[in-house]
């Protein structure tokens, strides 16, 4: 049984699932192989911008932030650490919504003031953050021939030069 099928099975049988985050797309809020999310099966209630949603895209499960609901019902997602938005997602693809998470050993609910402040700041800086992330990703891609430690050092310096500092308040 794959991790994805296990998540889907747990979600459909109990209405919620708790699992450790694997990818880097939701950093700094969710650190892979450390932080845990609680996903509740998609309720009948309406989705809202800024919800962190588990959805199926072409057979692959993704956990990203809902950044726009178009007039035609199409959903637009963006990971907190991503530079490209995902389009063409329909509400039928939504499996669940993050209701709480554990970041660095501390549990947060999605209505906690600290979390809401983080989301407000993140969204206010979205356009600038995406531009800086694209620059860093592009330069890194062109320098992918460098040894990993040197490339990491270059990326760190670029983040400093561009003042690209993302963090989750603790």
pLDDT along the chain (170 residues), means of 10: 80 91 94 96 82 92 96 95 94 94 96 95 94 94 95 92 86
The pLDDT, as a whole number, for residue 103 is 96
Cβ distance 39 to 21 under 8 Å?
A: no
Q: Which of 65, 82, 110 is the last residue of a domain?
A: 110
Query: Residue 30's domain spans which residues?
Result: 3-110
Domains: count for the chain: 2
- Say whether both 87 and 29 belong to one domain: yes
CA 111, CA 100: separation in Å to the nearest integer? Answer: 9
Give me the pLDDT at residue 1, please.
64
Sequence-ordered list of residues with C-beta below 8 angstroms from that of 121, at least 6 positions apart, any chain? none
Q: Indicate if 62 and 92 belong to the same structural domain.
A: yes
Within a domain: 134: yes
Joined tokens for residue 21: 């985050």
Q: What is the pLDDT of residue 84?
A: 95
Judge if 40 and 98 occupy the same domain.
Answer: yes
pTM over 0.85: yes
Q: Is residue 117 part of a domain?
A: no
CA distance 80 to 11: 24
Has residue 119 been placed in a domain?
Answer: no
């Amino acid at each position: 049984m794959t991790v994805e099928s296990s998540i889907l099975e747990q979600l459909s049988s109990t209405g919620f699932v708790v699992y450790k985050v694997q990818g880097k797309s939701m950093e700094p809020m969710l650190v892979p192989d450390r932080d845990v999310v609680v996903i509740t099966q998609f309720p009948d209630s309406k989705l809202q911008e800024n919800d962190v949603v588990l959805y199926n895209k072409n057979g692959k499960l993704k956990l990203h932030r809902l950044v726009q609901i178009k007039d035609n019902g199409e959903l637009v997602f963006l990971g907190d650490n991503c530079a490209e938005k995902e389009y063409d997602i329909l509400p039928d693809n939504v499996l669940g919504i993050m209701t709480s998470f554990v970041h660095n050993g501390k549990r947060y609910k999605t209505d906690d003031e600290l979390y809401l402040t983080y989301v407000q700041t993140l969204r206010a800086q979205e356009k600038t953050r995406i531009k800086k992330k694209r620059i860093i990703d592009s330069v890194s891609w062109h320098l992918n021939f460098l040894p990993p430690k040197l490339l990491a050092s270059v990326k760190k310096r670029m983040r400093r030069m561009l003042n690209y500092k993302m963090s989750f308040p603790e």
